[in-house]
Structures are given as C-alpha cells and as structure tokens.
C-alpha cells in the first residue's frame, strides 16, 4: 500500500508542476513549481525506499 500512496504523491506533484505553467504571475508560478518538485522528490524517495509487500 505504501508504494501506491507514494505514486499518488508523485501524481500530485506532477499536477503542481503542470499547473505552475499556467499561472501568469512569474513568482507564484516558480513557487508552485518548486513546491511540486520538492513534493515529487519526497514521493520518489519514499517510493524507492519503502519495501515491497509480498
């Protein structure tokens, strides 16, 4: 179940990064994309580190 929740976090980060491209204010867009990158990095790390259930 943990890899599934990590993949949902990565999907949410991808949505943040994609939505950052549609924001007109440059500072806000960069902030949203930066948060998306940090969330995605955390999701990918937890996806790799958590052991697979058997």
Q: By residue range, what is the domain housing residue 29?
A: 8-46
Give the other-Cβ count within 10 Å of 23's Cβ. Answer: 14
In a domain, 1, yes or no: no
**CA–CA gap between residue 37 and residue 13 (Å, rounded):** 7
* Look-up of token digits 């937890």: 46
**Domain-embedded: residue 14:** yes
pLDDT tier, 54 (very low <50, low <70, confident <90, very high otherwise): low
pTM listed for this prediction: 0.80
Alpha-carbon distances of 1 from 6, 41, 45, 47, rounded to whole Å: 9, 19, 15, 11
Number of domains in the chain: 1
Q: Read off the pLDDT of residues 4-48 as tens digits, 9 standing for 90 and up.
A: 888 888 899 999 999 998 999 999 999 999 999 999 999 888 888
In whole angstroms, give the CA distance from residue 1 to residue 36: 22
Classify residue 3: in a domain, yes or no. Answer: no
């Amino acid at each position: 179940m943990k890899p599934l929740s990590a993949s949902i976090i990565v999907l949410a980060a991808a949505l943040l990064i994609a939505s950052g491209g549609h924001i007109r204010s440059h500072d806000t867009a960069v902030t949203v994309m930066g948060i998306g990158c940090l969330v995605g990095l955390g999701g990918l790390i937890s996806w790799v580190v958590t052991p697979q259930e058997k």
